[in-house]
Amino acid sequence: MTKKRVVITGMGVVSPVGSGVEKFWQALLEGKSGVGPITTFDVTHYPTRFAAEVKDYNAEEHFNPKDARNKAKFVQYAIVATREALKNANLDIRTGMDPDRAAVLIGSGIGSIHSCEVEYGKYLEKGPDRISPHFIPRVILNEAAGQVSMDIGATGFATCVTTACATGTNAVGDAMRFLQYGDADVIVAGGTESATTILGLGGFCALKALSERNDDPQKASRPFDKDRDGFVMGEGCGVLVMETLEHAQKRGAKILAECVGYGRTSDAYHITAPHPEGTGAVKAMKNAIQDAGLTINDISYINAHGTSTQMNDKVESLAIKKLFGEQAYKIPVSSTKSMTGHLLGAAGGIELIICIMAIRDGIVPPTINYTTPDPECDLDYVPNVARKAEVKVAMSNSLGFGGHNATVVVKRYE
């Protein structure tokens, strides 16, 4: 069987630096940070008191009051981003195609931890009979994909993937596979997250994973910088409309990029730390490039996982050098988490969108807050200022807790 070619025809974003693809992209090119003091709950007693929250979002602009109350925020983000992506793709699933050939694959790393907190509080105060009947639909991870399928009328399969911080990249890569082998004609794919809550923040603080730069939050996320001290929690959603080339051409769609390579591996090493030699990350990147039928010399840009933790940034840099050799020093590598924070399960979705925009506009977004070079992180991280560059082929890396490594390669459509 000959694998079908897969293209991307639409994109949607909800993010801490701006919602809507164009607004989001412009903010990144300007080096704007979406990080600031947490506004949704009291953080007085937390060692970290800031995050990258979505600031320009009002649920009642997108949903009726009942749905705005009853849908978890990670589900709302997925629906809103999907609506933008389908509008961007000029596609109505209900009227523009066979809805049985349309599928949804949207994952989340954590789901609605906020709903757990609220309903447990009700239980403690008033007993089990006061737990909301909406609790389970709010909290379970598949509800993003399920409710998106209801919203858009996609009656093919609706499923999800949960691989911590690799979720969004695995979702897109898995969607590419399903399309290649004819399981659908169109798949809406990506990741969504809203986990900046009392337990979400508290849990990551307990892991000592977060930056504690409370005196200057906008400079807290500083991937690959020697003075990095942890990641910054973010929230949002990135969704892509993916189609077989045949289907996109038949309906006259504008093609934004071609999705050509996917690699995923497991470190099988540690519950939170990456393998110190970067072996799993190397194999994921290598497999994605081979899957694309390309070589290391074809890669024009790498959107790094780049979380701003000591271990992750060192290991990812090492992995890139191991795979690319001297070529590693010729490739721009940026971490846009310096601006968006770490969107956890949603990171891979918006970061692949960034790769596509870099291909479209010939501009590589910067790694901001890069001031003090680290001898162990010595690649070209596009420090602080966006750079014009011809990007024909871009790679997006995601490395998740549990040892999940995922890489997707996209290229200019020809």
Active-site residue, selected from the candidate residues 247, 275, 342, 404? 342
165 part of the active site:
yes
Checking DSSP bridges between strand 404-411 and strand 393-400, what pairing results, if any? Answer: antiparallel
Q: Is 374 helix (H, G, I), strand (E, B) or coil?
A: strand
Residues 6+ apart with CB under 8 A from 382: 332, 333, 334, 364, 365, 366, 367
Q: At CA 185, angle to CA 183 and CA 187, rounded to 5?
A: 85
- Are the C-beta atoms of residues 50 and 232 closer than 8 Å to each other? yes
342 part of the active site:
yes
With DSSP H G I counted as helix, E B as strand and the rest as coil, what are the percentages for the chain, rounded to 5? 40, 20, 40
Q: Is 297 helix (H, G, I), strand (E, B) or coil?
A: helix
DSSP H or E segment with residue 180: helix 167-180
Rg (CA), the chain: 20
198-206 and 113-126 helices cross at what angle (nearest 10)?
110
Active-site residue, selected from the candidate residues 305, 355, 377, 404? 305
- Are the C-beta atoms of residues 195 and 202 closer than 8 Å to each other? no
Place of tokens 């990456």: 274
Closest by alpha carbon to 234, among 259, 204, 267? 204
CA pair distance 289, 287, nearest whole angstrom: 5
275 part of the active site:
no
Closest by alpha carbon to 303, among 244, 189, 389? 389
Checking DSSP bridges between strand 186-193 and strand 36-37, what pairing results, if any? Answer: unpaired
CA pair distance 178, 4, nearest whole angstrom: 10
Three-state secondary structure along 133-161? CCHHHHHCCCHHHHHHHHHHCCCCCEECC
User: Residue 363 carries which side chain, given as an amino acid letter?
Assistant: I
Give me the active site residues, please: 165, 305, 342
